[in-house]
Amino acid sequence: MDKKELIQVLATIESVYPQVKISDEMVFMWLRVMKEMDFTLVMQKLTAHIAKHPFPPVLAEITVFQERENHFLQQTKQWEQEGRERIVRDQQLARRKPTPDWLSPSIRK
């Protein structure tokens, strides 16, 4: 969100809640916090807040943080697939060590 969009958010708050007066310090503080946020998502939360609450929102009530991509699950699935392929390849090439007697299914029972 850029400064122009933030001013639009704050102007909306000020127009709906007349008791709120926007200061320069407030603009700079909100800009530091909201610069990474999506303008349309913040406006959606602000609109929802306006519809439900008679008091102006605090910063935390309308902030929307985007989820960061997490590739851990994809990486884990890739490692599992590579492990399966390695096991099959080792079995085909007879490189796999035989299962120890103490691990064989007949003894476990």
Domain that holds residue 8: 3-61
- Asked whether the predicted pLDDT for residue 107 surpasses 70, the reply is no
In the predicted structure, residue 15 carries a pLDDT above the cut 90: yes
34, 63 Cβ separation under 8 angstroms = yes
Task: Check which CATH number belongs to the domain holding 7 and give it.
Answer: 1.10.8.200
> pLDDT tens digits for 17-74?
999 998 889 889 999 999 889 999 999 999 999 999 999 999 899 998 877 778 888 8
Q: Is residue 15 part of a domain?
A: yes
Asked whether residue 78 is domain-assigned, the answer is no
Given this model, what pLDDT does residue 62 score? 93
Q: Which residue in the block uniquely carries the two structure tokens 């090439």?
A: 93
Considering the domain boundaries, does residue 105 fall inside one?
no
Q: Which of 55, 47, 61, 52 is nearest to 20 (CA)?
A: 55
Q: Is 89 among the domain residues?
A: no
Nearest Cα to Cα of residue 46 among 2, 4, 5:
5
Give the SS3 label for residue 2: coil
**Would you say 49 and 62 are in contact if contact means Cβ atoms under 8 Å apart?**
yes
| Domain presence at residue 71 | no
The answer as to whether 97 is a domain residue is no
Q: How many domains does the chain have?
A: 1
Please give the Cα distance from 3 to 10 (Å, whole number).
10
Residue holding tokens 């590739």?
71
Q: Tell me, yes or no, whether 68 lies in a domain.
A: no
What is the 8-class DSSP label of residue 103?
Answer: G
**pLDDT for the residue numbered 48:** 95
Q: Are 97 and 81 in contact (CB under 8 A)?
A: no
Q: State the pLDDT at residue 106.
A: 63
Q: Is residue 17 part of a domain?
A: yes
Q: How remote is the C-alpha of 52 from its chain's centroid?
A: 26
